Structure 1
C-alpha cells in the first residue's frame, strides 16, 4: 500500500490514545455492589469502555439498551465516573515516545471522540495532554461512525482529510475514517471485544503498539 504523507493524525480517545478502562473498574463494581450484584472481572468491563455510557450501564445493572430508564442508569455510571476521571488512566505504553516523535516530525495531531466534552476536557487536563484539536459529540451534528468529527478535526488542523490519518479501536472509528477519506488505522491494543471480527472492518492498516506509527511515518519518509 502506498501511504499518503500524513500532515496530521487524529486519534480516538478511550481505548486508543488513553487507557481509561482502569477508572471504570471501580465505577462499575462499586455501583454493582450498591445493587447487591457481584463484582465483574476487569476484562469484561474493559471490553465495553469504547462502547460508551449506555453499554457500561447495561453491563453494570444487567439491563438492556431499550430499558425505559436507560438514560438514568447511564447517568448513574457517568456521575460516579465524574468523581474519579483520570485517576487511574494514562497514555497506552509507548504513546509518550510516539507523540514526541509525531511532533518532532512536524505532524499536527488531535482527538476526535464520541466521549462528551464534560468528561473529555477534565480527563485531558488531569493527564496533562495537550494537542491541536479536540472534537467531541457536541461539536458536530452526527457522532462517529459519521465522518463529521474527523472532517472538523482536519479543518481545525488546516489539512485536507486525505492528508490525515485516523487511529481508532472500534468498527465505528474505521467507518468514520473511510467516510472522511482518511487512512484508517486500527489499534489492536485497544478495547476490542472477543466477538469482534476485525478482518471484516474497513481497515487500511493495523498497529500492534503506538510506536508502530513512528515506523510507518519513517518508512514513508525514507
Structure 2
C-alpha cells in the first residue's frame, strides 16, 4: 500500500478543544445561576457537540422550552473563546511539517460545523489541504461520504489514505470508505477493540513510524 494522504479528525485528535468547550458550558451555567460541572465529566461529551453539553449541563432533553436558546448561547460563548485554551496536541505541529516535507496531502474531516472549524483553524494558523465539516454535506461521520468527498477534492484514491481519529464513528466512517484507520489513545473517547481500527497509536508522532 502506497500512502500519500493523511486525514485527521479535529476535536480530540488534531486539536485539544475540550477546555474551551468546558469553559463555554460552565459560563452558561453560571449565567443561569447553576453550579459548574467538572471538566473530567465534560471532556468525554465534547465529540457529541453543543447539544450534548446542554443536555448534560441542564439535565434536560431537546424538548425543554429553553433548549434552543441555551444552545445558541453556548455557541456564542464558544465562538468568542474558541482559542482561549485550545491548542494542537503534542507532536501535531511536527507531524504536519513532516508530512508537508514529504509532499503528502493532509486534511481535516470533522463533524464540527464549518463556521467554527474554519475559525479555529484560522486562529491557530493551521492550513490543511482539504477541510470537510459536519455541515459540508448532507451526511457526516460515521457515514463515509465526508471522507470520500475529501479524497475526491484531493483527487486521491481512498486506498492511498489513512484516517486518524479518537472516536468509534471515525473508525466506522473509515472502514465504510475503504480507508485504513488509526485510533489514538490520547483523545476524548476510551478506545475499544470493537472499534475495529487498523492501527493504534498513543502519540501522534507514531504516525510517522507507521508511514
Give TM class, smaller chain: over 0.9
Match of residue 22, structure 2, among 25, 38, 41: 25
Contact kept in structure 1, 2:166 and 2:191, CA below 8 Å: no
Unaligned runs of 5+ in 1: 218-222
Find 1:59's aligned residue among 52, 56, 59. Answer: 56
Q: Is the 8 A contact 1:90 1:127 kept in 2?
A: yes
1:44 aligns with 2:41: yes
Check 1:199–1:66 CA distance in 2 against 1; reply closer, same or farther (3 A cut): farther
Aligned residues between the structures: 211
How far, CA to CA, are the matches of 1:46 and 1:150 in structure 2? Answer: 25
1:22 is displaced (CA, Å) by 1.3
CA distance in 2, matches of 1:197, 1:130: 28
2:167 to 161, 166, 170: 170
Is 2:91 the counterpart of 1:97? no
The 3-state SS of whatever aligns with 2:60 is: coil
- What is the aligned partner in structure 1 of residue 148 from structure 2? 151
1: distance between equivalents of 2:75 and 2:43? 16
Q: Could you state the TM-score of these two structures normalised by the residue count of structure 1? A: 0.90
Aligned counterparts of 1:54 and 1:61: Cα–Cα separation in 2: 11
Contact (CA 8 Å) 1:109, 1:157: kept in 2 or not? no
1:9/1:166 contact within 8 Å kept: yes
Answer yes or no: is 1:14 the counterpart of 2:8. Answer: no
Alpha-carbon distance in structure 1 between the residues aligned to 2:120 and 2:48: 17
CA positional deviation for 1:25: 2.4
Whether contact under 8 Å (1:49, 1:56) holds in the other structure is yes
| Kept after mapping to 1: 8 A contact 2:184/2:201 | yes
Deviations 1:178-214 (A, max 9, x none): 010000111110111xxx5611112111110110101
Matches of 2:146 and 2:38, distance apart in 1: 33
Q: 1:70: how far off?
A: 3.8
Task: Using the TM superposition, name which of 166-175 and 39-48 deviates more.
Answer: 39-48
TM-score, scaled to structure 2: 0.94
Partner Cα separation in structure 2 for residue 103 and residue 113 of structure 1: 21
Map residues 107-118 of structure 1 onto 2, 5 A cutoff.
107-118=104-115
The equivalent position to 2:188 in structure 1, one of 188, 191, 194, is: 191
Matched, 1:132 2:134: no
Q: Whole-Å Cα distance in 1 between the matches of residues 29 and 135 of structure 2?
A: 30
Instruction: Give the Cα–Cα distance (whole angstroms) in 2 for the partners of residues 146 and 165 of structure 1.
Output: 16
